[in-house]
């Protein structure tokens, strides 16, 4: 026994510490969740009740009509599908492209390596908004406005630099020896990638994918300018239509908000373990 | 042989009959219908455009049975509409019709984004039907660039029961002094109920609510002046005149009387929710009340068709808003778009929309003529609002207006927060505006 | 001897990424730089671009509103980063203390970041509203006076910071949790045996091991806060009296509300320069 004090003390200390921890967590839980609970509760109220003041937490006559409206209205449903297509496509593209680039930085030595890396990281510093007009002009000239493919490509600028960094660091944690062993065994470079590197890189892909999806799914300013034809609209832009200058359809809006956070949330929950592992190894070297 | 011949012939005949009657086979003979899709970018809310485009398109199709006309219109929030039009013009994307806020007209016309409609308008010949201010509002440098489709005016609305509670006679609010006294009286009486007396706009468009006081004193926002470095004669800030200072001092009195500027503007919803007893708001305020209540809303809500005046002999003034319809320079279907435009503002098409949404007309046939009764009976206080059109002013059509408005807003904010005195604030703002205008 | 094909291999791997970045980021950057040296506004963009050299930049630095916006940016970014990092670190550490259901809790704490910025900004605009907002409602219920969250020039920027912190902290939590999970728990056991308290082991063991995570995290959240303008635009539009106009919002307004595209572009370039300096400063600070 090292302690000189009575045996009660460590126990009390332990409980005090535990209580403090849980108390703090509870406070932050409350702060984090209250706006969201409010949104959820509003989404279950019929539109007329939604704008009542003073605000009531529990809906008097809960209804799912708002969700039904958002999911069945053809324009909104279409925009939801568009968002999915663009986000999934953009994610696939981003992961593929960033992995290739990250692999190059991790495994090869070549002229200009540091310069290119610095430029790529430097591009991350550009505020997106100043690019709107030149991007629009460029896409307009190539007839690519309102094209889902063009949006997929444009969203890359939000994510590629970060993903390249993460993938590069992640690949660096995979021992070169594994790949070299496979090479010696007669595998081609591409084969090595397929059989050795990629299976081991799942966590890296996980974090790159989740980040790409999140940024693509939530983007508002780029789609509003580059693709606002009714059949190429994305969900976030479509939702904004409920916020008109003269009237806010709180019920529909909050139902839409709740729906919009499900995909990213589900992704993060499902791949939490891999994602965090990918992030861990992806950040270690600086 | 004979039977087979009969069968053969009848078979052939049947086939010929079927083939000739089947629609799929007759179309190659008739020319394919020409297909035209008109694109439009308009500002929300969406409902009004649904009505207008629907009805106008129907008529357009009747006039051109040989063309398959479609309209693809995008409804965007105010800011996004402006950004979208901007980028579309720069990117030279063909758009056929746009809704233009009157304050953008100068900019867009100067930037050569808009089609010069003067010729078409003259042929159309409806200028005499329009209220002069509204027709001029669509012009820049004496050329017609847009048609002001509908407008709105700002008036004073009040809750009758709340004024009763404070023992306040609504008519006393007509003068500046009465307004100030009324504000204090209301605040005192309603303090415990969480209701404020007067509403005061503190949002980014606060200048719009200040201009009427400037105008009613005879002041102007801008005036022509010679000696400009590059343009000879051009606009010069005039809002820092003695009239302007006096108008801004009235705002200061309001602040001193306890009226608080509101940062967020909910366009009448805050009045409908009885957070304020008196509110200067646009005619769209009625839209915040359900249509069923319109019939006897005048029993609960009163309206004074004016902004308070310094003394009883002064004529009042108000600001007119609304939307202008224009055709971008990049449109590839200008004639058809023009036709659609004229159909959209035709009284037959426009009046039902105005009726439903509570907007005011910019043309006499609807305002006073045969269609007036339709609106008169459904829109509360319609006649009073129409009467305000004659004292309605519009903002200048200059390309630099957004910056000038920002200068004025800064001056107003400085009064709101007691940072400067009206004279100094206006002079400094005018200095900035002069620079903006190139002096 | 490496064949040409083998030498070219790395560049081939890089090509897709570089191609996309070149077209979608570098071309716009050049475009912006080009117009920042000319007089391009809504009224002249289709008619003629006059070369004016550095005049845009001179005008920019002569504009008192720009200086105000730099000051406001300092407050906004400083407050946001400090709070996001502080709270983020606290939460990551707390959840790391063998808390039950930590996986679920982490997922819940990430939710704010899964919404789009525009939606979050809009929600807070209403939460902070003087008349309709829930905050003032609750204050009134317990007898306190309403606060002008968005209408008082002296506190408006902090209201925006609160919104930004609610929105952005999840990212820090994610990042630092990844860092914490990378630390081998056995290191702590050794320390405890040596008599170290929790706090001491945190300062001397955890923090140094977290350094790479902390650095990248700080750089990212700082730059994101500098470039962010959705919250300011939607919640206050920059007022009152420019008290909530950050440099990013200033840039947006110049370009899109006033149609002064080249002035906006020059402000944008200044912002990029600020970002680069920040990255540089962090680099120097943590290079040990």
A113 dihedral zone (left: phi>0; alpha: psi -120 to 50; beta): alpha
pLDDT exceeds cutoff 60 at B16 = no
Looking at domain B154-319+400-436, its CATH superfamily turns out to be Periplasmic binding protein-like II (3.40.190.10)
Which residues of chain B does A245 touch, with a Cβ-Cβ cutoff of 8 Å?
44-45, 77-78, 267
Cβ contact, residue pair B91, A141, below 8 Å: yes
pLDDT of residue A284: 67
Q: Which of A165-169, A229-233, A245-249, C192-196 has the lowest mean pLDDT?
A: A245-249
Q: How many CA atoms lie within 13 A of B406 on its CB side?
A: 18
Looking at per-residue pLDDT, the higher value among C173 and B1 belongs to: C173
pLDDT of residue B333: 93
Mean pLDDT of C138-156: 86
pLDDT exceeds cutoff 60 at C156 = yes
Domain B34-152+321-393: give its CATH architecture: 3-Layer(aba) Sandwich (3.40)
pLDDT of residue C243: 87
Query: Nearest Cα to A136, choosing from A231, A233, A238, A227?
Result: A227
Q: Which residue of B has its CA nearest to C237?
A: B204
Mean pLDDT of B361-383: 85
- Whether B129 has its CB under 8 Å from any CB of chain C: the answer is no
What are B31-45's pLDDT values in tens digits? 567 899 999 999 888
Cβ contact, residue pair A245, B90, below 8 Å: no
Question: How many CB atoms are closer than 10 A to CB A150?
Answer: 21
Distance CA B317, CA A212 (A): 55
Q: How far is C166 from chain A (nearest CA, A)?
A: 7
pLDDT exceeds cutoff 70 at B374 = yes
Class in CATH terms, C63-285: mainly alpha
Which residues of chain A does B44 touch, with a Cβ-Cβ cutoff of 8 Å?
241, 244-245
pLDDT of residue A221: 84
Q: Which of A242-251, B15-24, B162-171, C5-14 has the lowest mean pLDDT?
A: B15-24
Task: Provide the percentage of residues in chain B whose pLDDT is more than 90.
Answer: 56
Cβ contact, residue pair A21, C111, below 8 Å: no
The pLDDT-based confidence of B12 (bands split at 50, 70, 90) is low
DSSP chain C: ---HHHHHHHHHHHHHHHHHHIIIIIHHHHHHHHHHTEE--TTTTTT--EE-TTHHHHHHHH-HHHHHHHHHHHHHHHHHHHHHHHHHHHHHHHHTTT-TTHHHHHHHHHHHHHS-HHHHHHHHHHHT-TTT-HHHHHHHHTTPPP--TTT-TTTHHHHHHHHHHHHHHHHHHHHHHHHHHTS-HHHHHHHHHTT--HHHHIIIIIHHHHHHHHHHHHHHHHHHHHH--HHHHHHTTT-STTTT--HHHHHHIIIIIS--HHHHHHHHHHHHHHHHHHHHHHHHHH--
What are B293-338's pLDDT values in tens digits? 888 888 999 999 999 999 888 899 999 988 999 999 999 999 999 9
Looking at per-residue pLDDT, the higher value among B227 and B17 belongs to: B227
What are B150-187's pLDDT values in tens digits? 998 999 999 999 999 999 999 999 999 999 999 999 99
What are A98-141's pLDDT values in tens digits? 988 988 888 888 888 888 888 888 887 888 888 888 888 888 87
Looking at per-residue pLDDT, the higher value among B381 and C193 belongs to: B381
Q: Which of A134-148, B137-151, B413-427 has the lowest mean pLDDT?
A: A134-148
pLDDT of residue B390: 85
Task: Provide the percentage of residues in chain A whose pLDDT is more than 90.
Answer: 9
Distance CA B372, CA B377 (A): 9
Which residues of chain A does C90 touch, with a Cβ-Cβ cutoff of 8 Å?
24
Contacts 24+ apart (CB under 8 A), B228-232: B228/B438, B228/B439, B229/B438, B229/B439, B230/B438, B231/B438
Q: Which of B8-17, B170-179, B402-411 has the lowest mean pLDDT?
A: B8-17
- Whether B50 has its CB under 8 Å from any CB of chain A: the answer is no
Domain with CATH 3.40.190.10 in chain B: 34-152+321-393, 154-319+400-436
Cβ contact, residue pair B45, A145, below 8 Å: no
Cβ contact, residue pair B75, A241, below 8 Å: yes
Q: How far is C205 from chain A (nearest CA, A)?
A: 16
Mean pLDDT of A254-261: 88
Mean pLDDT of B218-234: 91
pLDDT exceeds cutoff 80 at A256 = yes
Cβ contact, residue pair C130, B416, below 8 Å: no
Residue A41 Cα distances to A34, A55, A258, B292, angstroms: 10, 11, 10, 28
pLDDT of residue A156: 83
pLDDT exceeds cutoff 80 at C194 = no
- Number of Cβ pairs < 8 A linking chain B and chain C: 84
- If you average pLDDT over every residue of chain B, what do you get? 87
What are B49-94's pLDDT values in tens digits? 999 999 999 999 999 999 999 998 888 878 788 888 888 888 888 8
Q: Give the best-scoring range by mean pLDDT among A21-25, A63-67, B154-158.
A: B154-158
pLDDT of residue B415: 93
Q: Which residues of C touch B (CB under 8 A)?
A: 42-47, 125, 129-132, 140, 148, 150-151, 153, 236-242, 256-260
A 28-67 residues inside an 8 A Cβ radius of B: 51, 53
pLDDT exceeds cutoff 70 at B3 = no
3-state helix, strand, coil in chain B (%, to 5): 50, 20, 30
Cβ contact, residue pair B413, C140, below 8 Å: no
**CB nearest B263 (choices: C239, C242, C259):** C239
Mean pLDDT of B190-197: 85
Cα-atom radius of gyration of chain C, to the nearest Å? 23
Looking at per-residue pLDDT, the higher value among A269 and C99 belongs to: A269
- If you average pLDDT over every residue of chain A, what do you get? 82
Interface partners of B (3+ CB pairs, < 8 Å)? Answer: A, C
pLDDT of residue C160: 94
The pLDDT-based confidence of B19 (bands split at 50, 70, 90) is very low
Which residues of chain C does B141 touch, with a Cβ-Cβ cutoff of 8 Å?
none
Distance CA B162, CA B278 (A): 9
The conformation of residue B33, written as its DSSP 8-state character, comes to P
Q: Any idea where the domains of chain C sit in the sequence?
A: 63-285
Cβ contact, residue pair C117, A96, below 8 Å: no
Mean pLDDT of A53-61: 68
pLDDT exceeds cutoff 80 at C260 = yes
Identify the sign of the CA torsion A158, A162, A166, A172.
Answer: positive
Beta strand ranges found along B269-322 (DSSP E): 276-282, 301-304, 318-319
pLDDT of residue B316: 93
Residue C109, token pair as written in the block:
């704490």
Which residues of chain B does C140 touch, with a Cβ-Cβ cutoff of 8 Å?
194
Is the ipTM higher than 0.90? The answer is: no
Mean pLDDT of B274-284: 90
């Amino acid at each position: 026994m090292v302690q000189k004090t009575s045996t009660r003390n460590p126990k009390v200390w332990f409980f005090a510490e535990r209580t403090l921890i849980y108390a703090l967590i509870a406070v932050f839980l409350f702060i984090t969740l209250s706006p969201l609970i409010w949104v959820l509760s509003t989404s279950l109220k019929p539109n007329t009740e939604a704008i009542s003041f003073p605000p009531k937490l529990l809906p008097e006559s809960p209804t799912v009509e708002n969700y039904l409206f958002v999911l069945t209205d053809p324009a909104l449903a279409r925009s939801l599908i568009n968002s999915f297509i663009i986000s999934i496509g953009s994610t696939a593209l981003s992961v593929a492209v960033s992995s290739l680039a990250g692999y190059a930085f991790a495994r090869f030595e070549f002229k200009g390596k540091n310069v290119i890396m610095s430029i790529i990281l430097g591009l991350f510093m550009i505020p997106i908004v100043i690019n709107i007009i030149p991007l629009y002009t460029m896409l307009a000239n190539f007839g690519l406005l309102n094209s889902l493919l063009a949006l997929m490509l444009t969203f890359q600028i939000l994510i590629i630099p970060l993903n390249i960094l993460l993938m590069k660091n992640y690949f660096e944690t995979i021992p070169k020896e594994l790949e070299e062993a496979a090479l010696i065994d007669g595998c081609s470079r591409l084969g090595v990638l397929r059989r050795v590197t990629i299976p081991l890189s799942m966590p890296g892909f996980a974090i790159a994918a989740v980040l790409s999806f999140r940024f693509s799914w939530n983007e508002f300013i780029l789609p509003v300018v580059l693709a606002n034809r009714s059949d190429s609209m994305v969900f976030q832009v479509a939702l904004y239509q409920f916020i008109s200058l003269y009237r806010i359809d709180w019920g529909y809006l909050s139902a839409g908000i709740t729906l919009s956070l499900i995909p990213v949330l589900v992704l993060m929950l499902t791949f939490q373990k891999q994602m965090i592992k990918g992030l861990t190894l992806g950040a270690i070297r600086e | 042989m004979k039977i087979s011949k009969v069968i053969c012939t009848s078979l052939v005949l049947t086939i010929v009959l079927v083939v000739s009657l089947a629609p799929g086979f007759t179309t190659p003979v008739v020319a394919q219908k020409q297909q035209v899709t008109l694109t439009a970018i308009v500002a929300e809310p969406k409902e009004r455009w649904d009505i207008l485009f629907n009805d106008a398109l129907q008529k357009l199709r009747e006039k051109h049975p040989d063309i398959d006309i479609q309209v693809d219109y995008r409804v965007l929030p105010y800011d996004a509409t402006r950004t979208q039009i901007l980028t579309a013009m720069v990117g030279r994307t063909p758009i056929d019709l746009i809704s233009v806020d009157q304050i953008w007209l100068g900019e867009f016309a100067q930037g050569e984004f808009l089609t010069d409609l003067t010729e078409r308008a003259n042929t159309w010949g409806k200028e005499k039907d329009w209220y002069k201010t509204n027709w001029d509002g669509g012009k820049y440098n004496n050329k017609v660039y847009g048609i002001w489709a509908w407008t709105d005016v700002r008036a004073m609305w009040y809750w009758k029961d709340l004024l009763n509670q404070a023992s306040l006679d609504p008519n006393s609010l007509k003068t500046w002094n009465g307004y100030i006294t009324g504000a204090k009286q209301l605040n005192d009486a309603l303090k415990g109920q969480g209701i404020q007396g007067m509403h005061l706009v503190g949002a980014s468009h606060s200048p719009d609510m200040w201009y009427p006081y400037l105008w009613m004193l005879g002041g102007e926002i801008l005036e022509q002046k010679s000696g400009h470095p590059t343009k000879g004669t051009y606009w010069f800030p005039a809002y820092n005149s003695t009239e302007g200072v006096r108008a801004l001092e009235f705002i200061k009195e309001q602040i001193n009387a306890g009226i608080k500027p509101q940062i967020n503007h909910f366009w009448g919803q805050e009045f409908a929710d009885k957070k304020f007893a008196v509110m200067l708001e646009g005619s769209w305020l009625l839209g915040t009340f359900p249509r069923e209540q319109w019939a006897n809303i005048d029993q609960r809500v009163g309206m004074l068709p004016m902004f308070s005046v310094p003394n009883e002999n002064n004529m009042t003034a108000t600001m007119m808003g609304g939307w202008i319809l224009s055709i971008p320079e990049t449109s590839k279907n200008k004639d058809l778009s023009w036709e659609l435009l004229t159909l959209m503002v035709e009284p037959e098409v426009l009046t039902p929309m105005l009726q439903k949404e509570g907007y005011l007309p910019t043309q006499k046939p609807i305002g006073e003529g045969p269609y007036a009764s339709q609106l008169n009976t459904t829109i509360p206080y319609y006649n009073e609002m129409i009467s305000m059109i004659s004292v309605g002013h519009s903002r200048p059509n200059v390309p630099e207006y957004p910056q000038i408005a920002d200068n004025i807003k800064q001056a107003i904010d400085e009064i709101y927060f007691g940072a400067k005195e009206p004279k100094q604030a206006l002079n400094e703002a005018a200095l900035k505006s002069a620079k903006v205008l190139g002096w | 001897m490496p064949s040409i094909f083998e030498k070219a291999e790395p560049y081939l791997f890089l090509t897709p990424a570089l191609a996309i970045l070149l077209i979608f980021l570098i071309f716009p950057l050049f475009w912006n730089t080009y117009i920042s040296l000319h007089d391009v506004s809504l009224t002249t963009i289709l008619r003629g671009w006059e070369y004016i050299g550095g005049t845009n930049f001179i005008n920019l630095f002569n504009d008192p509103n720009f200086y105000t916006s730099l000051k406001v940016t300092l407050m906004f970014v400083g407050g946001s980063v400090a709070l996001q990092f502080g709270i983020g670190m606290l939460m990551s550490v707390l959840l790391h203390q063998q808390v039950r259901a930590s996986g679920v809790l982490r997922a819940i704490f990430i939710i704010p970041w899964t919404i789009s910025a525009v939606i979050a900004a809009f929600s807070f605009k209403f939460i902070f509203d003087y008349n309709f907002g829930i905050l003032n409602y609750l204050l009134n219920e317990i007898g306190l006076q309403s606060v002008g969250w968005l209408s008082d020039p002296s506190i408006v920027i902090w209201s925006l910071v609160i919104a930004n912190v609610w929105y952005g902290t999840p990212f820090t939590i994610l990042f630092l949790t990844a860092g914490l999970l990378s630390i081998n728990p056995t290191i702590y056991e050794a320390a405890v045996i040596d008599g170290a308290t929790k706090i001491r082991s945190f300062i001397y063991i955890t923090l140094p091991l977290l350094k790479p995570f902390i650095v990248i995290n700080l750089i990212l959240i700082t730059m994101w806060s500098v470039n962010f303008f959705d919250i300011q635009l939607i919640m206050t539009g920059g007022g009152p009296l420019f008290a909530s106009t950050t440099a990013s919002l200033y840039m947006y307004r110049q370009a899109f509300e006033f149609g002064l595209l080249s002035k906006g572009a020059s402000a944008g370039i200044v912002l990029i320069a600020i970002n680069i300096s920040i990255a540089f400063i962090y680099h120097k600070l943590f290079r040990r």
